[in-house]
Amino acid sequence: MKYVPNLYFLVLVILFSQTIYGQPKAEKPNILFILVDDLGYGDVGVFFQNERRKRGDDSEPWMATPHLDQMAYEGAMLTNHYVPAPVCAPSRASLLSGLSQGHANVRDNQFDKALANNHTLGSVLRQAGYATALIGKYGLQGSAKWSENGDAWPAQPLRRGFDYFYGYMRHGDGHEHYPNEGIYRGPKTVYENTTAIKTGLDKSYTTDLWTARAKKWITEQVKEDDKPFFMFLSYDTPHAVLELPTQKYPEGGGLEGGLQWLGKAGKMINTASGTPDSYMHPDYKSATYDNDKNKDTPEVAWPETYKRYATSVRRIDDAVGDIFKLLEDLNIDENTLVVFASDNGPSKESYLPKGYVENTPDFFNSFGPFDGIKRDVLEGGLRTPLIVRWPAKVARNRVVESPSIFYDWLPTFTEAAGLIPPANTDGTSLIPALTGLGKQQESIVYVEYFQGGITPGYKEFAKKNQNRQRGQMQMIRKGSYVGLRYDIQSADDDFEIYNISKDKQEEYNLAEVETLRELQQLMKDEVLQLRMPDTSAIRPYDDTPIPSVKDLDVSKGYTLKQFEGLFPWLPKLDLMRPVSERKLTDVNEMRNLEDGLYLIEAFIQVPEDGIYVFKFTAKDKGLVRLHNALLYDADYKYKTNKTLEKSVHLKKGLHPIKIYFTKCKGAGVPYEFKWTNGNIRKEDYNNNILYNKRI
């Protein structure tokens, strides 16, 4: 099957939907991604809280998450899964876009910034034949703070691949969980698609509201539409403010029980009655603990702040159980892929008024066995308690220990839907790790982030991590080793290196170990080779030349690989088997290529250190990677023959390059690639200055 231009794609989808994606529609799983806000790795029973309970130490309070524990028993725990940034906006942006924080357009604390107009989980799965919905917190719609037209919400969910949206559009709205009453943070606005719901949400606690609306949408989708569905269910809890539900969770679950959507003004859901911010879960209402670690003195009650936090977590747990009962009632649970995760580590915020004790994650040790919290790139700020349940494909009680990260989910879901992901994604499909079938490729686990202030000085943390200055931070993981940099001053700063499989608190820095010198340099090189600077999030290493690879024996020319297939985007051709492969020395040899998909693999020879201006023009679609850095993306909504230009600081030597492109009808070379050393001398290095590794 040849590559088909976009003009005809929609028609072909309609005509050939049973075969175009590589598997019958009936075999595509429904996909549900449940994301919660500020839940720590250590907050979930199977990840950590159950260990506290088993120790029987009355000075260590613990919470229960029975439904999440059951989910883990029926599926897989990913114990080394990371978020790409330790705060919500960039973490969610990378999740939705499939891009690392070295490429995503939302970085640091850029709340409400418009998510780039490119492939997203929603758009990719919609093009794969899915009905798509986003329920709950969004916060990537756009704002005048970040762009001139930001307040027009150019990136609201319906413009980023979702057919339906119900929830909080703005980031800050998610800090109040009673939109109508606005008990602590003032009234907030819920939107259905782009319409503000101004009335009728009395006493609607958002965890309950999002759950009931999600259940209604899923039920309608299954009963009325034969498409598979993708839902991004994005809770705004247990993030502060630490509010309570109106009443206990309704009995039962699923179609007839649990939370139900009533749709009546003032009674939108079946828990919209009673007193807002009043219900404490009975497991915690009268909970006590040994606050002074003295058995001879009476235990004291948990401070209400923590009763509230535990109740909020338990409410989410109940909602998860309710949703699984719904999937069972609808007879779709076997082939529904459900992922549960948190957007970052635990928070120390409560937003409660004076009189409440401070919310500190060390009450439950919400950070688990790690150091760090939200806004730290220590493990406690980045590890997420991720669970996957997919009975049709994932065995029960499975533990996946290989490192992975949020932007792996776009290629994972794309593969589950029977497609190859877009070429721009930085992620790696986790299907082999989840199913045990095939070889799992190594994920690129990389984090960059800026935050002022210091890491909290909790006594549970290693001394070196207490009150440490944050500033510019980076983390990269290579196998069992984590490279960590805090308060970065320049690209020359050494990484702290930890064997994270043995040293979970990152206490023993191995950077001076002689056998790890090579790893130190590898980390320094890779963090420059896998990212592109962003002027909205300036880093002290932005202007550092990208290192070349070690000396290789090369000869003039390049490798050209040809692929066949029909895709709605330029696919990540590295994952496909070429139908042909040849060595060429002149780009003019590509003038008469047949229509199809192509990948060039080569090196460019940089004559000396300097700033180089690269120009790329595609006659249809194209994408260029320099090392693992995304140099050009001429795929999504690219205007044919538009020249893209970028300046890059390079070290002298060889730099690997990959050029992905499509060839459509018509003669001629399908792209133009030029680079100029404008810093030293004006000289074009055209398409022909490419090199192959000599065999």
pLDDT tens track for 470-516: 999 999 999 999 999 999 999 999 999 999 999 999 999 999 999 99
* pLDDT tier at 682, thresholds 50, 70, 90: very low
Q: What is the mean pLDDT of residues 427-446?
A: 98
Give yes or no: residues 372 and 472 share one domain: no
273: Cβ contacts below 8 Å, ≥ 6 apart = 203, 246, 247, 267
Q: How many percent of the chain have pLDDT more than 90?
A: 89
pLDDT given at position 676: 85
Residue 142 covered by a domain: yes
Task: Evaluate if residue 23 carries a pLDDT over 70.
Answer: no
Higher pLDDT, 216 or 593: 216
Helix and strand numbers, DSSP H then E, in the chain: 12, 32
Residue 437 covered by a domain: no
Tokens of 436: 């045990």
End-to-end CA distance of the chain: 32
pLDDT given at position 591: 87
pLDDT tens digits, one per residue of 405-421? 999 999 999 999 999 99
- CA separation for the pair 579, 602 (Å, rounded): 19
- CA separation for the pair 412, 396 (Å, rounded): 19
Give yes or no: residues 510 and 566 share one domain: no
Task: Evaluate if residue 666 carries a pLDDT over 90.
Answer: no
Residue 292 covered by a domain: yes
- CA separation for the pair 365, 144 (Å, rounded): 39
Higher pLDDT, 684 or 10: 684
Give yes or no: residues 518 and 573 share one domain: no
Count Cβ atoms below 10 Å from residue 346 Cβ, excluding itself. 28
pLDDT tens digits, one per residue of 60-112? 999 999 999 999 999 999 999 999 999 999 999 999 999 999 999 999 999 99
pLDDT given at position 679: 52
Q: What is the mean pLDDT of residues 160-172?
A: 99
Give yes or no: residues 486 and 631 share one domain: no
How many CA atoms lie less than 13 Å away from 468 in the CB half-sphere? 23
Give yes or no: residues 406 and 452 share one domain: no
pLDDT given at position 692: 79
Residue 304 three-state SS: helix
Task: Evaluate if residue 603 carries a pLDDT over 60.
Answer: yes
pLDDT tens digits, one per residue of 288-343? 999 999 999 999 999 999 999 999 999 999 999 999 999 999 999 999 999 999 99
Residue 309 covered by a domain: yes
Task: Evaluate if residue 404 carries a pLDDT over 70.
Answer: yes
Residue 525 covered by a domain: yes
**635 contacts 422 by C-beta, under 8 angstroms:** yes
pLDDT given at position 592: 87
Q: What is the mean pLDDT of residues 647-666?
A: 93
Task: Evaluate if residue 25 carries a pLDDT over 60.
Answer: no
pLDDT given at position 548: 98
Q: What is the mean pLDDT of residues 46-50?
A: 99
Domain count, the chain: 3
Residue among 507, 57, 124 nearest 293 (CA): 57
pTM of whole model > 0.85?
A: yes
Give yes or no: residues 351 and 455 share one domain: no
Give yes or no: residues 505 and 589 share one domain: no
Q: What is the mean pLDDT of residues 588-597?
A: 90
Burial grade of 489 (CB within 10 A; 0-12, 13-18, 19 or more):
exposed
Torsion angles phi and psi, residue 135, rounded to 5: -120, 130
Give yes or no: residues 493 and 632 share one domain: no
- Domain residues for the domain of 635 are 554-693
Residue 149 three-state SS: coil
| CATH classification of the domain holding 576 | 2.60.120.260
DSSP per-residue letters across 502-541: T-TT--S--TT-GGGHHHHHHHHHHHHHS----TTS--TT
Highest mean pLDDT range out of 527-531, 553-557, 608-612?
527-531
pLDDT given at position 687: 56
Task: Evaluate if residue 681 carries a pLDDT over 70.
Answer: no
Q: What is the mean pLDDT of residues 599-626?
A: 94
Residue 7 covered by a domain: no
pLDDT given at position 323: 99
Residue 223 three-state SS: helix
Residue among 122, 149, 267 nearest 201 (CA): 267
| CATH classification of the domain holding 349 | 3.40.720.10
Q: What is the mean pLDDT of residues 145-162?
A: 96
Tokens of 517: 């010198």
Give yes or no: residues 525 and 379 share one domain: no
Final residue belonging to a domain, choices 530, 563, 594: 530
Count Cβ atoms below 10 Å from residue 517 Cβ, excluding itself. 11
pLDDT given at position 665: 72
Task: Evaluate if residue 10 carries a pLDDT over 80.
Answer: no
Give yes or no: residues 211 and 260 share one domain: yes
Strands 596-606 and 558-563: antiparallel
**171 contacts 146 by C-beta, under 8 angstroms:** no
Residue 12 covered by a domain: no
At how many degrees (to 10) do helices 304-329 and 66-73 cross?
Answer: 40
Cis peptide before 238 (omega within 30 of 0): yes
Q: What is the mean pLDDT of residues 253-279?
A: 98
The single-letter code of the amino acid at 394 is: V
Q: What is the mean pLDDT of residues 553-578?
A: 94
pLDDT given at position 14: 38
- CA separation for the pair 186, 265 (Å, rounded): 20
Give yes or no: residues 467 and 333 share one domain: no
Mean pLDDT estimate for the chain: 94
Residue 15 covered by a domain: no
Residue among 683, 516, 691, 504 nearest 601 (CA): 691
Give yes or no: residues 517 and 664 share one domain: no
Number of residues assigned to the chain: 695
